[in-house]
Chains A and B, each alone.
Chain A
Amino acid sequence: ELKVEQNPLFLSMQEGKNYTIYCNYSTTSDRLYWYRQDPGKSLESLFVLLSNGAVKQEGRLMASLDTKARLSTLHITAAVHDLSATYFCAVVSNYGGSQGNLIFGKGTKLSVKP
């Protein structure tokens, strides 16, 4: 059974600082997604990582994937208040050979303070 663990679950940062969120998963998968969720809103897709060594960047966020270590990181550079949200990683689970569903971590609630 695929398990996805994120840490930390809560992160309080000061504006301008850097930090990294970690996502570990328990079984082989070659596709990983990062989503953002604002309070009371649905999930917004941030990154899709499709291969070992994949790195993607958008603004102050950079995501990477190491499939051998079963680890993805979401790095935040020079945080700003607008980045305050909950961030989820999700990993594709293979079931019966189908290209299947996404299994989510519990999320990292990020709060960026002035």
Chain B
Amino acid sequence: GAGVSQTPSNKVTEKGKYVELRCDPISGHTALYWYRQSLGQGPEFLIYFQGTGAADDSGLPNDRFFAVRPEGSVSTLKIQRTERGDSAVYLCASSLTGLAGAFFGQGTRLTVV
């Protein structure tokens, strides 16, 4: 597609459940980023991929969060044992090389009840 695509757009889950959020980056973009944005705040960095490998995962808040990008294109953010504090909009972005500006998807709004 023409832009960064994220699915689902909305996800409601019960506390303690496992969720997967998907990101399809712009074709050919080698760099992929995951961010989390709470209401009224700026995006908070989670993890950055360059190709298939995680170049920087220092933003993942704890070991319940994990992300993969096995073929260097689509990425999945996985959250285990969800907590109410995980509720936020999860944004994915991609860029051509990591040096150019990043293009953001529409986000997945995760609500943990």
Which residues in A have some Cβ–Cβ distance to B below 8 Å?
Answer: 31, 33, 35, 41-45, 48, 88, 90, 93, 95-96, 98-107
Contact = CB atoms under 8 A, between A and B. Distances in A.
Contacts of A103: 45
A96 B56 contact: yes
A95 B55 contact: yes
Nearest to A31: B99
A42 B106 contact: yes
B101 A48 contact: yes
Given A43-B91, A104-B44, 4 more contacts: A43-B43, A90-B43, A100-B55, A104-B43
B58 A99 contact: no
A107 B39 CA distance: 11
Interface of B: 33, 35, 41-45, 48, 50, 55-56, 58-59, 91, 93, 97-107
Contacts, number: 64
Nearest to A107: B42
Majority secondary structure of chain A interface residues (helix, strand, loop or mixed): strand
The 6 A-B residue pairs with the shortest CB-CB distance in the complex, in nearest-first order: A104-B42, A101-B48, A99-B98, A43-B104, A98-B55, A48-B101
Contacts of A107: 41-42
B101 A101 contact: no
B109 to A, nearest CB: 9
Given A33-B101, A45-B101, A48-B101, A100 B48 contact: yes
A95 B107 CA distance: 25
A98 B56 contact: yes
Contacts of A101: 33, 45, 48, 56, 59
A48 B55 contact: no
A48 B102 CA distance: 10
A96 B55 CA distance: 9
Contact of A99 (B41, B42, B45, B99): B99
